[in-house]
Amino acid sequence: MKTLFDISKAGAKALFIDSSILSATSYRLDPKLLRSQPARLPQVAENELARHYTALSKRAFGVDDGFYPLGSCTMKYNPKVSEKIASLEGFAGIHPAQSESDTQGILQIMYQLQDMLSALCGMDKFTLMPSAGAHGEYTSLQMIRAYHLERGDTKRAKIIVPDSAHGTNPASTAMAGFTAVNIPSKDGMVDLQALQQVVGEDTAGLMLTNPNTLGLFEKDILQISSIVHGAGGLLYYDGANLNAIVGNIRPGDMGFDIVHLNLHKTFSTPHGGGGPGSGPVGCKQLLAPYLPVSNVACKDGQYYFADPEKSIGRVKMYYGNIGVCLKAWAYIAMLGTEGLKDASLMAVLNANYMLAKLKDKFKVVSDKCMHEFVLSLQELKEKTGVSALDFAKAMIDEGMHPPTMYFPQIVKEALMIEPTETESKETLDKAIASILKLYEQAFAQPESMHLAPRTTPIGRPDEVLAARNPILAYEFDSPLEGQ
């Protein structure tokens, strides 16, 4: 398909603004300040742009297109009413530096969302500032660091991370000035003995997601909490898997001191092709003074910004991904506690149903799960040569998005399936039938699966070439002047 630069025609115009001031006045920048060559943005007429992006959209696949069982991503349906709300002029058209009296409406919603999330998580205070889950992790780790330092506890340089954890956990740890210590899992769960051996005076905390990345609930969580707290560390909850329990179980009741949430997962805001998300952080009172600036407070029915007394500082310009927060607010307001309980229960039901139908053919970690489960295709690969990657690519030809591949790293040839609660039994049955069909196909015609996908605009891309010889921008005939 042609790029914008291929269809660009000098003189084509799509933006029509009032520029009469240019002929009415002679204010111009001194030529000495100007760049030597204009930016070579394309020149395309409006109708051609409409066709270009429409064509691009037909080479994409969203939740509205089909089944999207990406483990750990919670690709549930995105309610359209949330889009409508976020685009209301009274939200989209307000400047962040307007006075508090000018913006009581949005401040009220932010305050309500802070409260809703606190209630759902069993936390005392929430911040809406972080832009994504990893940003929330980073913010939380800075808070944990500040907490220990303020108490004069300068030895706590280590954060414990299970080997099944998402890569953002250790990466955020390093950014926050800590050293990540990996502990191995035992049968997919936190190994209590290993944990006991690793905790000590240098433990700042443990990062955990529950259920874990295998979709299993860490039943020993209270013991884990006890071990970590006993050593003087704090317990951090990675909220990526909250969809298994939201409304039914609160992280605060499991011993967690601080949590981050993914509004673009559990709370149904759209993924947008990779973002924007939102990663609010909630904490118990002991960490509240360290929350980043700014928080929304309320007094006598008036909403205002308040800065926590010992804040770690600022992690974002202005107040957070407000447009995303609005959508999460609407979702929670519509579902309420009852609806959220139903949602997480149905999420777990859907996952267990699929697992029940697939566990005889594939190797599984456990025959019951929470909201997601992991299949290992190692045995299939040994017998047929068909890998998890091949299988996933063949699933594309069956009209669905593949599951998460090769994560968590502790399972070989892993496919992690999270159906979410918004899928009907019919959709699940169809997906199950496709997967079982592909299983048979792996034995009967393994070659066909090495060639998958075949129904997409392109076949498998050469990723080695892409990494060895990166072409990261359109190659114009000549470089920009000066280069």
Among 184, 200, 230, 313, binds other proteins (CB under 8 A): 313
Among 154, 299, 309, 482, binds other proteins (CB under 8 A): 482
Candidates 184-192, 196-204, 230-238, 463-471 — which segment interacts with other proteins by CB under 8 A? 463-471
- For residue 180, the surrounding DSSP H or E stretch is strand 179-183
Cα 49 to Cα 296: distance, rounded to the nearest angstrom: 41
Instruction: Identify whether the C-beta of residue 192 lies closer than 8 Å to the C-beta of residue 222.
Output: no
306 lines the binding site for other proteins (CB under 8 A): no
HSE-CB for 239 with a 13 A CA cutoff:
34
What are the φ/ψ torsions at residue 104 (nearest 5 degrees)?
A: -60, -30
Among 213, 423, 439, 449, binds other proteins (CB under 8 A): 423
Q: Name the residue type at position 163.
A: D
411 lines the binding site for other proteins (CB under 8 A): no
* Cα-based angle 215, 216, 220 (whole degrees, multiple of 5): 150
Candidates 41-49, 231-239, 373-381, 440-448 — which segment interacts with other proteins by CB under 8 A? 41-49
SS3 439: helix
301 lines the binding site for other proteins (CB under 8 A): no
Would you say the C-alpha torsion 328, 334, 337, 341 has a positive or negative sign? negative
Closest CA to 365 of 234, 172, 186, 236: 186
CA end-to-end span of the chain: 29
Candidates 48-56, 186-194, 372-380, 440-448 — which segment interacts with other proteins by CB under 8 A? 48-56
Q: x/- contact string, 55-84, with other proteins (CB under 8 A)?
A: xxxxxxxxxxx--x-x--x-xxxxx-x-xx
Nearer to other proteins, 203 or 350 (CB): 350
98 lines the binding site for other proteins (CB under 8 A): yes
β-pairing, 185-186 vs 179-183, is unpaired
143 lines the binding site for other proteins (CB under 8 A): no
Candidates 49-57, 192-200, 281-289, 440-448 — which segment interacts with other proteins by CB under 8 A? 49-57
Nearer to other proteins, 121 or 380 (CB): 121
33 lines the binding site for other proteins (CB under 8 A): yes
Site for other proteins in 281-300 (CB under 8 A): 292-293
Q: Shortest distance, CB of residue 380 to other proteins, whole angstroms? A: 19
Nearer to other proteins, 396 or 443 (CB): 396
Instruction: Copy the structure tokens of residue 455.
Output: 């129904």
Nearer to other proteins, 53 or 443 (CB): 53
Among 396, 436, 446, 448, binds other proteins (CB under 8 A): 396
Site for other proteins in 356-375 (CB under 8 A): 356-357, 368
Site for other proteins in 432-461 (CB under 8 A): 453, 456-461
Closest CA to 319 of 301, 305, 333: 305
* Cα-based angle 102, 104, 109 (whole degrees, multiple of 5): 140
Collect all residues with Cβ–Cβ distance below 8 Å to 463 and sequence separation of at least 6.
Answer: none
Q: Name the residue type at position 73.
A: C
Nearer to other proteins, 437 or 460 (CB): 460
Among 67, 95, 150, 441, binds other proteins (CB under 8 A): 95
CB-neighbour burial class of residue 327 (10 A; exposed 0-12, middle 13-18, buried 19+): buried
Cis peptide before 294 (omega within 30 of 0): yes
Closest CA to 87 of 271, 265, 333, 324: 324
Candidates 126-134, 198-206, 280-288, 436-444 — which segment interacts with other proteins by CB under 8 A? 126-134
Site for other proteins in 237-256 (CB under 8 A): 245, 248-250, 253-254
Q: Shortest distance, CB of residue 350 to other proteins, whole angstroms? A: 8
Closest CA to 379 of 397, 396, 359: 359
Q: Name the residue type at position 251.
A: P
Site for other proteins in 184-213 (CB under 8 A): none
Collect all residues with Cβ–Cβ distance below 8 Å to 171 and sequence separation of at least 6.
Answer: 134
Candidates 39-47, 226-234, 376-384, 438-446 — which segment interacts with other proteins by CB under 8 A? 39-47
What are the φ/ψ torsions at residue 414 (nearest 5 degrees)?
A: -80, 140
Candidates 31-39, 196-204, 280-288, 434-442 — which segment interacts with other proteins by CB under 8 A? 31-39
Q: Shortest distance, CB of residue 239 to other proteins, whole angstroms? A: 13
Cα 244 to Cα 246: distance, rounded to the nearest angstrom: 6
Site for other proteins in 330-349 (CB under 8 A): 330, 332-340, 342-343, 345-346, 348-349
Candidates 231-239, 280-288, 315-323, 378-386 — which segment interacts with other proteins by CB under 8 A? 315-323
Q: Shortest distance, CB of residue 411 to other proteins, whole angstroms? A: 14
Q: x/- contact string, 152-181, with other proteins (CB under 8 A)?
A: ---------x----xxx-xxxxxxxx-xx-
Instruction: Identify whether the C-beta of residue 337 lies closer than 8 Å to the C-beta of residue 330.
Output: no
Binding residues for other proteins, how many (CB under 8 A)?
202
β-pairing, 404-405 vs 414-417, is antiparallel
Q: Shortest distance, CB of residue 193 to other proteins, whole angstroms? A: 21
Q: Shortest distance, CB of residue 386 to other proteins, whole angstroms? A: 17
